[in-house]
Amino acid sequence: MDGFRVRSFSASRAYLTLGLIPFLSIAGVSARVVRQAMEMTSMTEKLVVSNLSGVPETMLWPLYGRAAEARRPDSRLHDPRAVIIADSIDYDFERSFGRPSSRHVIRAMAIDTLLRKWLRKHPGGQVVGLGEGLETQFHRVDQGRVRWLSVDVPESIDVRKRFLPDTDRHRNLACSALDLRWMDEVDPTGGLFITAAGLFMYLPPEQVPRLVAAIPEKFPTAELAFDTVPHWASRKTLAGLKLTPSYTVPPMPWGLDRNELGDLKRWHANIAAVQVAPFGRGRGFYYGGIVPVLHALPWLRNKMPMVVHLRCAPASM
Ligand SMILES: C[S@@+](CC[C@H](N)C(=O)[O-])C[C@H]1O[C@@H](n2cnc3c(N)ncnc32)[C@H](O)[C@@H]1O
């Protein structure tokens, strides 16, 4: 099995449990029972993802944060699949990423909010998730009609497919976001929303404007949400940022400060609006207390990560 080892049994039991969630819920089975099923899954099988390294390995980091939030009794992120997937992977998350934080939870929730709002206007629309990793956003925002295309590099799609296989409205595509052939798989007739969470910062800087500009060029009414890191954070990763003694964050060569947002409109004439999507309040001293204050202070806000929301419209309209 190409680069994978499955410790005891196989990922099929996690898949089975994932598939059962909606039926259990419809059947009125209590959250406690679902949780027990999830715990059983975590006890009986682990997928060893030893082929993941570099940027593909980073997909385990936001998964870890979302799963930690989702398993809290006072969770703000309903995401039982993230819990099952995290519990089904043989990986020492805390050793690599430290204690879980709200860092990726507030990003996921900010994009969920944009998507839910957009889906109310485009119920049968197409969402494309570039660099989706093990993001379970489809299931969080699914209203029964959205069509979803998840685009990631082959080694990441191999892992994703174990837990989030293709269905009639959710498809996985092994293709680099930089290889624009993924666009041929998109049907924009009911509207198109493209997400790229935790992706652009890892790309060669000259490729980011090229990729962003290709979207309004091909899909002139699309919307796009992606997150950014500021230049100081990008520089830190280029110098070798150790998140924990056992994990060095891969280089993030592309950074953007908030005062550069105006430049984005110059990347393509069809980029009609550029906005920063608000983050909700996270947990703990930093994400619950400091970050909201930093975002409120003009100079410091300039140096903070953002979720950027682009709306496209044909320039001639
Ligand atoms: C930090 S993870 C983010 C995963 C997911 N968006 C989330 O928030 O959980 C980065 C993801 O980008 C993917 N990636 C890296 N380079 C890529 C490329 N050129 N095209 C598509 N995906 C890429 C990695 O495989 C990984 O899944």
Question: For the chain, which residues make up each domain, given as ranges?
Answer: 5-97, 103-312
CB 301 within 8 A of CB 293: no
Burial of 161 (0-12, 13-18, 19+ CB in 10 A): middle
- State which fold the 103-312 domain adopts: Rossmann fold (3.40.50)
CA nearest ligand 1 atom 23, residue: 131
CB 258 within 8 A of CB 276: yes
Over residues 197-250, the pLDDT tens digits come to 999 999 999 999 999 999 999 999 999 999 999 999 999 999 999 999 999 999
Mean pLDDT of 1-23: 47
Percentage of the chain lying above the pLDDT 70 cut: 86
Pocket test for ligand 1, best of 63, 199, 207 (most atoms within 8 A of CB): 199
pTM given for the model: 0.89
Separation of CA 177 and ligand 1 centre (Å): 9
Over residues 53-88, the pLDDT tens digits come to 999 999 999 999 999 999 999 999 999 999 999 999
65 lines ligand 1 (CB under 6 A): no
Short-list 74, 73, 131, 123, CA closest to 104 = 131
CB 66 within 8 A of CB 136: yes
Separation of CA 292 and ligand 1 centre (Å): 26
Separation of CA 131 and ligand 1 centre (Å): 3
Per the prediction, the chain carries an average pLDDT of: 89
